[in-house]
């Protein structure tokens, strides 16, 4: 019921209340009072006792009228009394500047820690035997035509962060690929694989590089099978993993590699400790960056515990996104962001790419699909402008835009606050909190 309906109801209630009280007054004064031989004072007392229900109803009407006339002041005063003291204390501890919250906000974003075990398909359960076999295959250069390149050549998981730190990777014969090698750590949580999202599972993804003429150069999947079969030392591990007496197939090879990759997860980042309850796991700058990551809209694509809408957690309707959304921005030409269209039609002015995970992003430079950016702060600027349409600058005032909606015939004002240098630094600080402590220790030791 709207305010107008409530006011109409109140007007009718007041009229009925006055009529009822008048009737009661006459009954007490001229009928019940004289019959009971009550004094004047007792007549009024009887009137109030018999009319107590009406009095209570009158008080309720006064409260409703007050809330209708002064809802914002009344409710806000109550909220301020209850929560302002604790909120100010928390903001001071974390050096966070209060930001006005609009009425009617959407449901708050829920931050989640990474699970410690990756899910596996029912037909390919993860077993120790399969993982051991998959690890060996992952590092076996015999799966390439000239026996010089393995999966780990581009995805170094023993000494690195699951990639090779090159802009684009090197394949057989020193050939250079066209795209940056993404980290294989936490790939087990992605719903689609490769930069263009063409593989629906780890099993299918593992069949791709051996056949790529630049990467591993095998002529067919049957050739991969034969290469593994001719190595007698593989017979026993395959028998332990899949059962004795079976012929080695590409399905088994892919299943073993995928099972191994599902063990390559990093739930040990400071961010995970913070979400699980360690309030001291993040610094003040990282907390500010975490809030900016949400308010700027980064979570619209990099969501969930794996920081990717292309993940198995509550997957996005589309695991791919247009990039860049705003191709006129200066960074697009500088870093050749549209030279490769990804899953889009070749020659398109915008690419379509799988949403990458931001886990361990501070350890996996260079960045983007073409490896054209070395600096994480620069990536934040690119994504803020070319993808989110934000302005960069240190002017606090910001800018105001008048927006007219022809369809809805409404006009509104949008205030755009630019992303400052400190904001960029804070977001970078937060992104660093997504780094595995195990991988970060390797980096500090100089082995990454």
Residue 321 belongs to domain with CATH number: 1.10.760.10
215 is catalytic: yes
Q: 373 phi and psi, to 5 degrees? A: -120, 130
Is residue 226 domain-shared with residue 280, that is, in the same domain?
Answer: no
The whole-angstrom separation of Cα 264 and Cα 248 is: 24
Question: Per DSSP, what are the bridge partners of residue 416?
Answer: 399
Question: Helix 421-432 crosses helix 284-295 at what angle (to 10 degrees)?
Answer: 100
Structure tokens, 306: 């794996």
- Residue-level pLDDT at 337: 94
**DSSP string covering 401-438, please?**
EEEEETTTTEEEEEEEPPBPHHHHHHHHHHHHTTS-HH
Maximum CA pair distance of the chain?
A: 120
Q: How many residues does the chain have?
A: 448
- Residue-level pLDDT at 380: 98
- Domain contains 411: no
Domain termination residue (choose one: 261, 294, 316): 261
The whole-angstrom separation of Cα 213 and Cα 129 is: 31
Give the number of other Cβ atoms within 10 Å of residue 256's Cβ.
29
- Domain contains 94: no
The whole-angstrom separation of Cα 360 and Cα 161 is: 8
The per-residue b/e assignment along 266-284, b for 16 or more CB within 10 angstroms, e otherwise, is bbebbbbbbbeeeeebbbe
Q: What is the pTM of this model?
A: 0.74
Is residue 249 domain-shared with residue 197, that is, in the same domain?
Answer: yes
Is residue 287 domain-shared with residue 436, that is, in the same domain?
Answer: yes
Which positions ≥6 away from 357 have C-beta within 8 Å? 183, 186, 187, 189, 190, 302, 306, 307, 308, 310, 311
Is residue 57 domain-shared with residue 192, that is, in the same domain?
Answer: no
Parent domain of 233: 128-261
Is residue 146 domain-shared with residue 254, that is, in the same domain?
Answer: yes
The whole-angstrom separation of Cα 442 and Cα 431 is: 18
Which residue has 């088994």 as its token pair? 252
- Domain contains 169: yes
- Residue-level pLDDT at 418: 87
The whole-angstrom separation of Cα 208 and Cα 231 is: 22
Is residue 438 domain-shared with residue 299, that is, in the same domain?
Answer: yes
Domain termination residue (choose one: 42, 69, 96): 69
Which positions ≥6 away from 175 have C-beta within 8 Å? 214
Catalytic residue among 215, 225, 261, 378: 215
Assess contact for 137 and 253: CB atoms under 8 A. Answer: yes
Is residue 248 domain-shared with residue 292, that is, in the same domain?
Answer: no
Assess contact for 350 and 327: CB atoms under 8 A. Answer: yes
- Domain contains 100: no
Task: Region of 104 please: left (phi>0), alpha (psi -120 to 50) or beta.
Answer: left
Is residue 277 domain-shared with residue 191, that is, in the same domain?
Answer: no
- Residue-level pLDDT at 43: 61
Mean pLDDT per 10-residue segment, the chain (448 residues):
49 65 64 62 63 62 50 35 34 38 59 96 97 98 97 94 95 96 97 96 98 97 98 97 95 98 98 96 97 95 96 81 84 93 93 97 97 97 93 75 73 78 98 96 72
Is residue 360 domain-shared with residue 431, that is, in the same domain?
Answer: yes
- Residue-level pLDDT at 48: 64
Is residue 148 domain-shared with residue 224, that is, in the same domain?
Answer: yes
Is residue 288 domain-shared with residue 432, that is, in the same domain?
Answer: yes
Structure tokens, 123: 């037909």
Is residue 139 domain-shared with residue 254, that is, in the same domain?
Answer: yes
Domain termination residue (choose one: 69, 95, 115): 69
Chain centroid offset of residue 447 CA: 30
Task: Region of 383 please: left (phi>0), alpha (psi -120 to 50) or beta.
Answer: alpha
Assess contact for 349 and 327: CB atoms under 8 A. Answer: yes
The whole-angstrom separation of Cα 196 and Cα 222 is: 25
Q: How many domains does the chain have?
A: 3
């Amino acid at each position: 019921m709207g305010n107008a309906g409530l006011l109409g109801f109140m007007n009718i209630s007041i009229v009925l209340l006055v009529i009822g009280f008048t009737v009661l007054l006459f009954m007490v004064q001229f009928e019940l009072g004289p019959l009971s031989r009550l004094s004047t004072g007792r007549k009024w007392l009887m009137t109030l006792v018999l009319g107590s229900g009406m009095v209570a109803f009158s008080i309720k009407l006064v409260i409703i009228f007050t809330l209708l006339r002064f809802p914002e002041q009344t409710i806000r005063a109550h909220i301020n009394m209850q929560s302002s003291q604790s909120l100010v204390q928390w903001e001071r501890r974390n050096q966070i500047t209060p930001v006005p919250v609009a009425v009617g906000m959407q449901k708050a974003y829920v931050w989640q820690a990474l699970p410690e075990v990756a899910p596996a398909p029912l037909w390919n359960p993860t077993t120790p035997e399969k993982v051991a076999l998959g690890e060996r295959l992952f590092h076996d250069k015999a799966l390439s035509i000239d026996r010089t390149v393995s999966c780990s050549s581009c995805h170094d998981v023993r000494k690195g962060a699951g990639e090779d730190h090159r802009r684009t990777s090197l394949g057989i014969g020193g050939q250079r690929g066209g795209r940056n090698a993404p980290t294989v750590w936490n790939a087990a949580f992605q719903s689609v694989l490769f930069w263009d999202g063409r593989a629906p599972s780890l099993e299918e993804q593992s069949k791709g590089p051996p056949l790529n003429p630049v990467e591993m150069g095998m002529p067919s999947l049957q050739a991969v099978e034969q290469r593994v079969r001719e190595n007698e030392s593989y017979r026993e591990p395959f028998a332990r993993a899949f059962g004795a007496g079976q012929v080695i197939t590409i399905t088994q090879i892919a299943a073993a590699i995928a099972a191994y990759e599902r063990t390559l997860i990093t739930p040990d980042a400071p961010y995970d400790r913070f979400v699980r309850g360690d309030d001291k796991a993040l610094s003040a700058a990282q907390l500010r960056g975490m809030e900016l990551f949400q308010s700027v809209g980064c979570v619209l694509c990099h969501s969930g515990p794996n920081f990717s809408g292309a993940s198995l957690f509550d997957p996005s309707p589309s695991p791919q996104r247009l990039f860049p959304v705003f191709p006129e921005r200066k960074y697009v030409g500088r870093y050749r962001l549209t030279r490769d269209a990804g899953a889009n039609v070749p020659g398109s002015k915008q690419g379509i790419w799988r949403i990458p995970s931001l886990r361990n992003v501070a350890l996996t430079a260079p960045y983007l699909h073409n490896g054209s950016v070395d600096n994480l702060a620069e990536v934040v600027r690119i994504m803020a402008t070319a993808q989110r349409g934000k302005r960069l600058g240190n002017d606090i005032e910001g800018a105001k835009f008048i927006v007219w909606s022809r369809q809805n015939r409404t006009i509104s004002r949008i205030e755009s606050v630019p992303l400052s240098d400190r904001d960029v630094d804070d977001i970078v600080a937060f992104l660093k909190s997504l780094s595995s402590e195990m991988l970060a220790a390797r980096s500090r030791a100089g082995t990454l």
